[in-house]
Amino acid sequence: MHSILRHTLALMGALIACSIAAAQDGTTAYQFLNVPVSSHVYALGGHNLTIIDDDINLVEQNPALLGKEFDHQVGLNYMRYIGSTNFMGARYGQGIGEHGALGVGIQYYGYGKMNAADASGVITGTFNASDMAFTLTYSHDISENLRGGINLKYVYSSYETYSAGAIAADLGINYYNPDKDLSLSLVAKNLGGQVKKFNDKRDKLPWDIQLGFSKGLGSTPFRLSVTAFGLTKWKSPYYEPADKNNTSSELVEKEKFVSNLFRHLVFGVEYLPTDRIYIAAGYNYKTRTDMSTYKRNFLSGFSIGGGMKVKALGFGVAFAQPHTGATTFMFNLTTSIGELMR
């Protein structure tokens, strides 16, 4: 166990060093890596590291959530995102020995057809743009209540005739006490760097440090979650029109302590009438304030969803409306091959 921890810490240090080096040479890219693939997570505001549920799609947020309880489970996800973009993917998990688990996944991000033009602006045709992420996950039970995990990812981007690739890793740890319905997590996400550039400019990965907390509220069927993200940078200013009734008016930068704090936090609450049904809602203040210069409405920043398990099949859906012109929808399906064949 100590050997595993030493190697994990050494790997984490090396990847953080690579991420910092990459950050000093270029701009942030690969933002699609921050889009959740779990409808449960999306319903809770888009960030959650701590939810304990029979859903292998959660592993994308925190590799320490993978375990032998996901043995032979398959998870599928689909998301209708903003504009004509569509995201979809699949995951599979399998137990290894008494304390380990292994998972594999593939995720596709398609942005639809776009117009191609020459230097003078004349349309010359259309092209497709897409990203893909291939993931290998390993987790290990450190103790009865503590588990660590790692996601290793190869990321490939293809835009018209240009392509690029990167290697990234997520390192996570989770403490779970079922008697108190308490879950705590720490995750370092998207550590690594590019191995193939689009051009002479090197882009950095959106690496991040995140903390998560989930707790059942006593004997009630409710669970509260708070997730802190973007912890590598405290200042998080945003802009809004000087005249809030006129979105085309002059933009004013907003940056105060309370604003910075809440732009790093996502809040979620769940109603759990049984261990097979959940109804969830979330609030993401950063999403709401990011939409200040667009036609946002009351729903901006809020999300809602639900899920249930019927025999061997699990279903989940989630909805959000960042602004009036964009309604997003996510659907998940999970099943255990062993249970399905009984």
Question: pLDDT tens for residues 238-269?
Answer: 777 766 666 666 777 778 889 899 999 999 99
The Cα–Cα gap between 287 and 182 comes to: 27
Residue ranges of the chain with per-residue pLDDT less than 50:
1-27
Angstrom distance (rounded) from CA 227 to CA 214: 9
What residues does 186 pair with on adjacent strands? 173, 211
CB of 64 within 8 A of CB of 317? no
Residue 334 to residues 116, 312, 337, Cα–Cα distance (Å):
39, 8, 10
Q: What is the predicted pLDDT for the residue at 202?
A: 81
In this predicted structure, what is the pLDDT of residue 340? 64
Residue 248: the pLDDT is 65
Predicted local distance difference test score (pLDDT) of residue 1:
41
Write phi, then psi, for 86 (nearest 5 degrees): -135, 130
